[in-house]
Amino acid sequence: MSKLALTRRGLLKGVAHAAALGTLGSMAAVSRQAKAATGDRKFLFFFAGGGWDATPLDPKFGTDGLSPVGGTDMDPGTMLGSVGNLSWSSGDDRPNMDRFFTRWGSRTAIMRGVNVHSAGHEAGRKWVMTGTSASSVPDWPSILASNGVAEYPMPHLVFGGPAYPGPFGAAVVRGGGGTLLELMDGSINGRADVRAPVVPVPMDEAMDRFVHDRTARFAASKTGLGRARVEDLRSNIERSMELEGRRFEAGLDGGGRTMVDQAMLALEVMRLGLCRCAMIRIPGGWDTHGGNGAVGRQMDAFFQGLDELMSHMASTPGNLGNYLSDEVTIVAASELGRTPKFNGAMGRDHWPYTSMIAVGSGIAGNRVVGKTDEGFVSEPVNFSTGEASSSGDVIGTEHVGTALLKLGGVDPERFLPGIQPLDALLRNP
């Protein structure tokens, strides 16, 4: 079976060899695709599975900055940290939160009191990522990856965390395991129970040329569904060729497996125009029914990683703007929040109100959007300003998601009609 991709040996022969495959037209297709892929804002999603404690991003301290107020328990040993309009719970176990907000607060928005409409894990994940409980609705990154102005070999790269592609399943590529590249270069044959023969490189390239040329001729003579299907096949051939041809450039063969390693790889393939969105799991045990002591350290590790990523983005040239930080939006969320009061085991149980953060391109930085009362229940806000307003509405995950679609140049009405975007989150709504 042909692997429908340039081989590694073919790649190492360089551009001159690729140009010799004139009938493929692959380099022209790659060039058009890479150029088009510079036209979209990119999105890097982080997800804390299990339901994170939202109080570190929505602290309840009195005027002294130390004593908890109202019906919310704050972690022992914490105090109010603030810079500009932003505030968080600071402490000896979370110095990197202080560092991150001090360095990048001007580019960061904190969303508070976001209603996930559920206190259950699976339902919460669906609501946070899609804005609805309907099983057929795709998640925000799948929509963004499939409906931009560009086409990508790996539209939505998922290293970990939830994925609800809906009708956009072809956009989702699972990262970290190498299976995609093994399928393309044929090495997956070696893992099969019944191994398929590996054809010589010249024969393999000839087969690629034959399939591409045959599908091109077929498409030219057809209309309707037949033509659409063969065009999809040809597009997949070209996508696989681009990935195989740029796998070393993008570092797809190597890299570590930590959150920062995966994020760095995602940023690199975004920079090269190979993908638009990525999803990465935030490490840690966030389902803290039986003790909340590790939350500060886990939050601190996450913000240490974010600080490193923002430093990298702010110094790495991009395609849309001067730097990657001008064209990549970072969003961090979890599927639910935790109760404001500790339970008998000094842990927190499930709660339907949570906090989220957004950083980078297009985000209204140095802004708190939304508000909870002293019992950690969401209050209505003005969606244009993000401030509490009795005439406003409670922020739901659907309002955050439609704002992200709007930021990505996708009409939210196509996917969640009638849902008002949370414009306060956007720099220029």
pLDDT score recorded for residue 199: 73
Cα–Cα distance, 170 to 140 (Å, whole number): 15
**β partners of residue 388:** 381
Smallest Cα–Cα separation from 92: which of 297, 284, 260, 232?
Answer: 297
Domain boundaries, the chain: 1-36+200-254, 42-176+257-425
pLDDT score recorded for residue 59: 97
pLDDT score recorded for residue 244: 67
Kindly list the distances between the CA atom of residue 36 and the CA atoms of 31, 49, 311, 361, in Å, as whole numbers in the listed order. 9, 34, 27, 19
pLDDT score recorded for residue 211: 83
pLDDT score recorded for residue 402: 98
Q: If the chain, 429 residues long, is cut into consecutive pieces of 10 residues, what is the mean pLDDT of each piece? A: 32 29 30 46 97 98 93 96 98 98 98 98 98 95 94 90 93 70 61 70 79 83 79 71 65 75 92 92 96 97 98 90 92 98 97 98 97 96 97 98 97 97 92
pLDDT score recorded for residue 187: 64
pLDDT score recorded for residue 4: 31
The region, left, alpha or beta by phi > 0 then psi within -120 to 50, assigned to residue 62 is: beta
pLDDT score recorded for residue 352: 98
pLDDT score recorded for residue 34: 35
Q: What are phi and psi of 351, to 5 degrees?
A: -150, 140
pLDDT score recorded for residue 170: 83
Cα–Cα distance, 164 to 177 (Å, whole number): 19
pLDDT score recorded for residue 58: 98
pTM above 0.75, yes or no: yes
* Residues 42-176+257-425, CATH architecture: 3-Layer(aba) Sandwich (3.40)
DSSP characters over 147-184: SSSS--SSSEEESSS----GGGGGGEEE-SS-HHHHHH
Cα–Cα distance, 68 to 425 (Å, whole number): 28
